[in-house]
Structure 1
Amino acid sequence: MGPEITELTQLKSIDFSNNGFTGSIPSELGNCNLIEYLELSQNSFTGDILESFRNLLNLRFINLYSNFMKGSIPKSLFRIPHLDTVWLVVNELNGSIPLNVGNMSEISSLWLYGNQLSGTIPSSIGNCTKLVELYLNDNQFVGDLPESLNNLEELMYLDVSNNSLEGTIQLGLGSFKQMDTLVLSFNYFRNGIPPGLGNCSSLTQLAAVRCGLTGPIPPSLGQLTQLTLLYLCENRLSGRIPPKLGNLKSLNDLQLYDN
């Protein structure tokens, strides 16, 4: 892809996925200010995410999946007003999530997994109230899960596994009436499973493997009658298995053992 792409002034959609493109994305791409859909996944692009993307004020979808992008996520990316889908996964991005992530009032899908992102998950993410999918797994995040996640009432998929998160899981998870999949595995949480999790009546998959959980399994998990998968193994859970787990008639994959 060369700078001559800016001569295509009426471009609204670019799909260069699944090719062998190399080198940096030309900064001139930021001059194609009618673009709504930018698909550059599964190539070998290198360099930073362009600051010039801030000029793409009509952009709704950006996918940089499986490239070799480096550097941090620029704050300017999260100032684009109508972004709906941001997939930056499986790159070599570092640094923290910009604090202005909460500016993305229309975002429904944010995928940042498979990078080297660090720092804490900013509480401003709770302002993204249209989020349906949030994948932060396979990074180096630390600190607590922000309580502001409770604001994301439309959230269906949350994966924060394979990080270094800690603290008590203080989420009022009963807020997540649409939640389908929750993955907390391979972190360093303290204390137990929140009883309020039993109010997430749409959950089909719950995985919390090796993440430091202690105490008993709450009987309220027996209310999750849509569950097909429940992984709680390799923790420090204690007490008896609640008889109410017998209500989980849809369950076909259960792992509770400790290692």
Structure 2
Amino acid sequence: MEGEIPNDLARLANMVDLQLAANNFSGVFPQAIYNMSLLENLNIIDNGFSGSLRSDIGALPTSLGKLSGLEEFSVGSNKMSGEIPSSLGNITRLESLWLFNNSFEGSIPPSIGKCSHLLYFYLQDNKLDGIIPQEIMQIAPLVLLNMSNNLLTGSLPETVGRLEHLGTLSVGHNRLSGKLPETLGKCLLMVQLDLQGNSFDGTIPDISGLLGIKEVDFSNNNLSGSIPGYFANFSSLEHLNLSINNFEGKVPTEGKFKNATIVSVFGNINLCGGVLELKLKPCKHSSFSKKVLIGTSIGVSALLVLFIAFVSLCWNFVLQVKTFRKVMALGSVHS
């Protein structure tokens, strides 16, 4: 189907489920839709709709308020633009919010944190900027949060650890920075963790408890330190990308690190070892190890010299005692 949606659609006031996905509809989505007060599911994904949610929804809070029963709001893969209205936070029964692959700009409204039943939040492939609101990281039921391919700045909020049901966290290809929060290790149901293409620095936090993780992508950041050995024990791990960072030291060779098709570490010039397929330079003793080795050798040599000197002294003493006894014995014979 194609063309524009007729405005007389408003006559379907008792509509509960409106599914128009994967068609060729175009034009500005009619405001009449927002008079369907009983609407629970609205899905117009993969069409050619344009316009701004702010002009269609945000400027009409009374119309938006009539959609209080909406559980799914899906407008992904269209040509929509403008800012995401904060009034979306008033639809507190939302479970799915799909805004991906449009041209939305501006910041993510903190008010969406009031959507306390939200399970799926897709924001990827837009032009959103500003920080990630901590309020979003406090929506306890969230199962999937995708904010990748935007212009987001700031750090990953510490409050991410409150998302105990989170299975997918994707914030790749933004402008995020700072150290990764230790609270990531509290997202025990995590399956997919995509943080690539940002400017995160510091070491990888302890995420050894994420035993069900399948995909971890930390590539194209400024992360440093050694590669945690616990990745070797993740039985579900299918892809670990640590490429183009500042990691250093020896790459483990146990467990998952045996399979070079799972692990990617190129672009870390200070890494060494690993399985042959990774084509890394062999590990050399560090200067510290050399110092320890040299110190140990000197210490052992010194002890050996002292032992030989002690034995020599003892032997000389024994000889002197024997000589003295012989002299005494001869003296007694002559007398």
TM-score (norm: length of structure 2): 0.69
Aligned CA distance change for structure 1 residues 244 and 78 (closer, same or farther; 3 Å): farther
Residue 110 of structure 1: CA displacement? 0.4
Do the aligned residues in 1 keep the contact of 2:26 with 2:49 (CA within 8 Å)?
A: yes
The unaligned stretches of length 5 or more in structure 1 are 1-20
- Post-superposition Cα deviations, 1:190-228, rounded to whole Å, max 9, x if no partner, equal 10211101000000110111111111111x211111101
One-letter amino acid matched to 1:229: E
After TM superposition, give the deviation of residue 240 of structure 1 in Å.
0.8
In structure 2, the gaps of 5 or more residues are: 245-266, 268-335
1:240 aligns to what?
226
**Partner residue of 2:146?**
159
Q: How does 1:170-185 map to 2 (within 5 A)?
A: 170-185=157-172
Structure 1 counterpart of 2:14, from 34, 39, 49: 34
CA distance in 2, matches of 1:138, 1:60: 26
What residue number does 1:55 align with? 35
- Match status 1:130 vs 2:120: no
1:72 maps to 2:58:
no
Matched-pair contact (CA < 8 Å) for 1:34–1:56: yes
Would the aligned equivalents of 1:31 and 1:55 in 2 still touch at CA under 8 Å?
no
The ranges of structure 1 where at least 4 consecutive aligned residues each deviate by more than 4 angstroms after the TM superposition are: none
Asked if 1 retains the 8 angstrom alpha-carbon contact of 2:19 and 2:43, the reply is yes
Secondary structure of 1:28's partner?
A: helix
Larger radius of gyration: 2
Query: d(CA) in 2 for partners of 1:37 and 1:142?
Result: 32
RMSD of aligned alpha carbons: 1.2
Q: Deviations over 1:200-259 (max 9, x none)?
A: 0000110111111111111x2111111011111111111111233334222121111115
Q: How far is 1:170 from its partner?
A: 1.5
Identity rate, percent: 31
Which range moved further: 203-212 or 68-77? 68-77
Deviation (angstroms), 1:28: 1.0
Distance in 2 (CA, whole Å) between partners of 1:171 and 1:161 is 18
Query: After alignment, is 240-249 or 111-120 more displaced?
Result: 240-249
Q: Distance in 2 between matches of 1:221 and 1:243?
A: 11
For 1:256, the equivalent position in structure 2 comes to: 242
How far apart in 2 are the matches of 1:162 and 1:246? 29
CA apart distance, 1:24: 1.2
In structure 2, C-alpha distance between the alignment counterparts of 1:159 and 1:192, rounded to whole Å? 20
One-letter amino acid of the structure 2 residue matched with residue 191 of structure 1:
G
TM-score by length of 1: 0.89
Matches within 5 A, 1:11-26: 21-26=1-6
